[in-house]
Amino acid sequence: MKRILLLTTGGTIASQKSANGLVPAAAGEEMLQMLPELPCKVETRELLRLDSTNIQPEEWLQMAEHVYAALDSFDGVVISHGTDTMSYSAAALSYMLRNLDKPVIFTGSQLALTEQNSDGPGNLYDAFRVAAADKPGVYVVFAGKIIRGCRAVKVRTQGREAFFSVNAPLAGTVSDTQISWINPLPPPDKPRYLAADCFSRVMLIKLAPGIEPGMVEAAVILGYRGLVVEGYGAGNVTNIRRDIASALAKAIQGGLSVALTSQCLLEASDMSIYEPGLIMQSAGAIPARDMTTESLYVKLCWALGKSEDPAVVRDIMAQNIAGEME
């Protein structure tokens, strides 16, 4: 029987009611008591007890280090996590756990385990089943879906089907009777290693009519080393009045790494179509292609943690890691 480690980090799945609303409280053993007989042997460790809105890059590093240390002793790892920032954490571990040869599964719930008709028991049980299935890689398992860690985006605030696989087929599905794999990550051809470099400071800006170029200047003044810009449509930015394009070009020339993506959830950005995009392409903006904003943001943080040389950062950002780009 497979040996799986459950790392708990808090989130709704572990929450209980208090005078201040739901707060993470349940330990791993308490969570397991709410499940039917498991398909694997499970050991639990409490890593964090946080609402996921409070999980920061420091916690990504902590998760990655604990998972990596456990991989020699366990056949897979399940991480119970709040849904609000699960996409960011799953993307972060996708980058840090290189050549991953065992399953690392994120899951959580929209209702606490203690609430009536909670989706928590089903999601957690499915996560253990997938973790015991020998498919290597970082995945989000939620509402019967198996999603690559770099492709998961939360799309509902309350609905049970909270996550969507953006610009990629589902990795697989989980039903009561079977796991069906559709588009899993390929197995590694090199030994696994931990690339837990420090994360550098990156700002995320979503453009809207009326935003001033000073927003870009503020990022530089505040010491950010990278900037992810959600532009319009195919990835366009204002280039006449309130000239964001010129401000970004100047910042890039000064050493700021700028990645440009689209506010549209589906399909790829493309800077080569319209004049504003071509301006940014010529200035040296990093193309997002069809990456999710969450993965793009985390990857730029991670890349800048490895090097602040803009040329090196561009090379890292161009690599297709863990199925983040099709």
Active-site positions read 12
Neighbours of 33 (CB within 10 A): 9
| Cα Rg of the chain (Å, integer) | 20
State both tokens at 240: 């006449």
Whether the Cβ atoms of residue 280 and residue 249 lie closer than 8 Å to each other: yes
Q: How far is CA 201 from CA 37, 224, 230, 274, in A?
A: 44, 5, 17, 30
Beta-ladder partners of 172: 146, 181
Number of helical (H) and strand (E) elements in the chain, helices listed first: 9, 18
Question: How far, CA to CA in Å, does 174 sit from each of 31, 41, 137, 146, 179?
Answer: 20, 19, 16, 7, 5
> How far, in Å, CA of 306 to CA of 202, rounded?
14
Q: Which two tokens stand for residue 207?
A: 């453009």
Task: Count other Cβ atoms within 10 Å, centred on residue 297.
Answer: 25
Angle (CA) 215-217-221 rounded to 5° is 115
Centroid of chain to Cα 186: 19
CA–chain centroid gap for 184, Å, is 17
The number of residues making up the chain comes to 326
